Structure formats: C-alpha cells, structure tokens
Amino acid sequence: MRTMIVDEGRTDVLAWKCATQDFEFGTRLNVHESQAAVFFRDGQLIEVLGPGMHVLETRNFPFLRFFTKLRFGKYFHAEVYFVNLSVQMSLPWGTRDRVNVMLEVEPGKAMPLDVGASGTMNVQPDPDQVKEMLVWLVGTGEELTAESLRDKFNSMLNTKIKTFLGRVLQMQNMNAFTLDQHLNDVSQALFGVLEPEFRKYGVWLREFYVDAFALPEDNPAFQDARRLAEGRYIQHGKLDLEYELKLKQAEKEAELARLEGEKTLVEADVAARANVTTAQGEAVRRSLEGITSVQEHQFATLDRMVEAGGAGSAAAGGSGGDGSGLGDMTGFFGDVMKMGIGLEMMRNMGDVMKDAMNGAGQAGANMAQAASMNGNAGAGMPGPGAANPYAGQNPYAPNPGQPSAAVPQPSGWICGGCGRENPADTLFCGGCGTKRPEPEISRAWICGGCGRENPADTLFCGGCGSRRPESNIPPQADGAWK
C-alpha cells in the first residue's frame, strides 16, 4: 500500500518544513484547501502544488525526474514546505517610542505632547507570492510563526507609524482630548502606508487597526489642560441638557395644542353632523305627517293654551253661571286632556271652534245685508257707506278706537315645489332652488261705519255688515262679485 503524507501543522504557523525528505514514487501527498506545498531541490524552488490529493509519480509531475533517485530508483530526495494560507487574526502591534506632536488642548491653543499608539492587524500569506514569502522570510529555517512574522516587521512598523502618525494628527488639526473619535480615520490612513511594505515580502496585510493612543498623563501641564477641558465639557453638558429639556417641553406643549385643536374640530364636526341628522329627521317626520314647521308651531301654541287652561280650571271653574264661562271652557279642555283624548283631537276641536266663530260673523253680515235691501225698512236702515246702529251689538266687531290685533306672520316662506320652509331673507329654496313667489299686494279697506280693517277680497264689513264703497273695489274683486 502506498504511503500517504498529511501534514496539517499548527494554526499559528504560517510555513513549516515537512519532516519527510525521502519520498517513494507513488506516494500520495494530501494538500488541504488552506495550504500550499512547495518542492525544493538542491536549495532551489522547483514547484508549488495547490490543494488536492497528489500522487507523486513522474508521469503526473515530470519535474520529479530531476530529483536524486535512491534505493534502486524507488525513492527520491526532496525538501517540501507547507504554507498555511489562512488569515492570522489580531496580531498586536505598538510603538516602542512616542512621537512628539503639536496637538490642540483648547480652542486656539496647542501644546507639544508625546503620543504613542497601539492596535492589532490581520495578515495572510499571499497565494500568488508563496515563493517570495518562503525565500525572504523563511529561508532555511524550519518554520515561520505569526509572532516571528510580527517581530520581523516590528522595526518597519515603528518607523513608518512614528513618521506618519505625527503628520496625520497635525494635518487634521485634532484635539488631544478627542483623539479616540478619529481612530478609524487614522487606521485607514496608516493602512494605506503599510500595506505596500507587506506586499514586498509576500504577505497580505488584510486589516490594520489603531485601538488606542497613549498620552502623557504624568505631564503637569497636560493635567491642567485636561481639568480645564473637563470643566468646560461639564458646563456645556449642563447647558445642552437644559436646552434639550426646554426643547422637549416645547414640543410636548405643541403636541398637546395640536391634539386639543383636533379634538375641537372633531367635536364641532360631530355636533354639525348631529344637527344635520336631526334636521333631516324632522323634515322627514313633517313630510310624513303632511305639515310644515309653521303649522307645527301653531299646534304647539295651542297645546300650551290647553295645558294652561287645564291648570286654571280649578280656580275659574263654574264662574260663567250658564256654562259659558272661561273657567268651564278651560276646565273642559283640561278634563279632556286628563281623559287622554290626545293632542290631535284637541287640534280638531280648535278648528271646529274657529269655523263656528267665522260662521257667526258671516251670519251677522248676511243679516245686515238683508236688512239694507228690504224696502219696508225705510230711512231707519243704513244705506251703503252709512254707520250701522247695531255695530256695537256684534261681539266680534273691533272697537273703532282701538287698533286691531296684529295677525302673527310666519317667520319664513314655504316652497311650493318641495314644501321646504326657508328663512325669510332668502330668494331661492334651499331644497330645490325654486324662486320665492312674489308677495301679493294687500289692498285691505277700512269700513266707514265701524272703522274695521277688512281683507281685500271682501265686499262687506265683517264687523257691521256695511257694503264696501264702489270707489274702493278693485277690478278683480268687483268682477268676481258682480
């Protein structure tokens, strides 16, 4: 069975020499993915083998023909180095000596300070420069560790960092007490300087970090400057805190005011919607009942009169003697309400009484007209336009010396198109847009016998029965009656 050579080595070793130097032809050499195998003959680098299982035979690797054959040609002599291609993480570094730099300690004032630096770096053998690393860094040694690699570059690191660190700090005008805020910037700047130097030796500088700056804490002048800076920082911190608290309070008050305004708007909107809904409901109810708001107001007035009459029936009841007294009438209405007949019946009874009164007045007018037309009455009956001697006997005729009671007028006008009640100061209906009808010109006339004001469409006085003068009869009324 052929021999297999597997050499894994330690993780902190970058390159090491294989312990086996006499190889049998046909030996299998196992190279891991993170490794490379380098063959030397007589001190010269011959070949680099990458990852995989390699069978050491001349037909696979013609360069093996040039190696010294031993033991009847079954073996050959060679030196093989394994190279670890993985990244070596967090190798520490630091400046042995400090560099003197002029740094700002307060606005407009700088002082010379001895500054040092330290940090870590990540390195890796360059797969394309394995030969260079073995020749320049390993040579004839047995191995190259990460620590020894750092030691080899230590002098170069100190020289480059000290030279460049002072230049970077001064060019960017950094403050001595805020250097930690610029760690990343300084790290990137130093990486750009050091990376080409590592490449020369076949090593890839992957990352370079400055972790801390060393300041002269034992310098009295620096200590005084630090105390002054800390005092200013505390004072500014208090002012900033007060400003932040005031700003938050103002923002809170503004938010509360905004919420209060939104609440007011929402409440107003809800109230407006409720009013609209109520008005729409009232309009639907009136439409179903077939009444207007003016009629409803008149009904409510009548209801209050009935209630007032019922309340006063106890005090005024029976005062009329013959059953016609006001107490009996109001008592009757009150009793009716107590019996539960209802509002609608009371409204109908009110209408009946009004019609009865109008009939009585019309009867008196007709009697007066008949008397004036009777020839047997002679001069005792008043003629047209004459005073009526029976005017004082009519209980419904107004006193000439007193003005007639004003008839209540509706507060608005009713649209003939949709039945909507509109305000008195509008010209068009708010429901359908119909124009308000022109008001009829009233041409009422005054009776010469009793002084009563009569409607324009009447020919006889409603108070005394006297005929309307011919000169005061409008053409349409005259034509209608004639």
- For 89-216, which CATH superfamily applies? Band 7 domain (3.30.479.30)
Contact 159/26 with Cβ under 8 angstroms?
no
The band of 223, judged by pLDDT with boundaries at 50, 70 and 90, is confident
Q: Which of 102-116, 277-291, 370-384 has the lowest mean pLDDT?
A: 370-384
> Strand locations in 193-280, DSSP E?
203-214
With 70 as the cut, is the pLDDT of residue 80 above it?
A: yes
With 60 as the cut, is the pLDDT of residue 239 above it?
A: no
Q: Identify the pLDDT of residue 350.
A: 53
For residue 441, the 8-state DSSP code is P
Q: Identify the pLDDT of residue 397.
A: 46
Distance from C-alpha of 226 to C-alpha of 222, rounded to nearest angstrom? 6
CB atoms within 10 A of CB 189: 19
CA R_g for the chain: 62
Beta bridge partners, 175, equal 104
The whole-number average pLDDT for the span 215-227 is 85
CATH 3.30.479.30 in the chain: give the residue spans.
89-216
481 vs 147: which has the higher pLDDT: 147
The band of 310, judged by pLDDT with boundaries at 50, 70 and 90, is low
Distance from C-alpha of 101 to C-alpha of 98, rounded to nearest angstrom? 9
Distance from C-alpha of 133 to C-alpha of 292, rounded to nearest angstrom? 109
Distance from C-alpha of 482 to C-alpha of 413, rounded to nearest angstrom? 33
The whole-number average pLDDT for the span 95-112 is 84
End-to-end CA distance of the chain: 151
Give the tens place of pLDDT for each residue, 436-466: 887 655 568 889 889 898 988 888 998 898 9
The whole-number average pLDDT for the span 217-229 is 83
Closest CA to 135 of 177, 95, 81, 189: 81
With 90 as the cut, is the pLDDT of residue 122 above it?
A: yes
Top mean pLDDT of 110-114, 137-141, 145-149, 322-326 is at 145-149
With 50 as the cut, is the pLDDT of residue 202 above it?
A: yes
The band of 309, judged by pLDDT with boundaries at 50, 70 and 90, is low
The band of 362, judged by pLDDT with boundaries at 50, 70 and 90, is low
Q: Identify the pLDDT of residue 312.
A: 55
209 vs 303: which has the higher pLDDT: 209
Q: What is the DSSP string of 265-312?
A: HHHHHHHHHHHHHHHHHHHHHHHHHT--HHHHHHHHHHHHHHHHHHHT
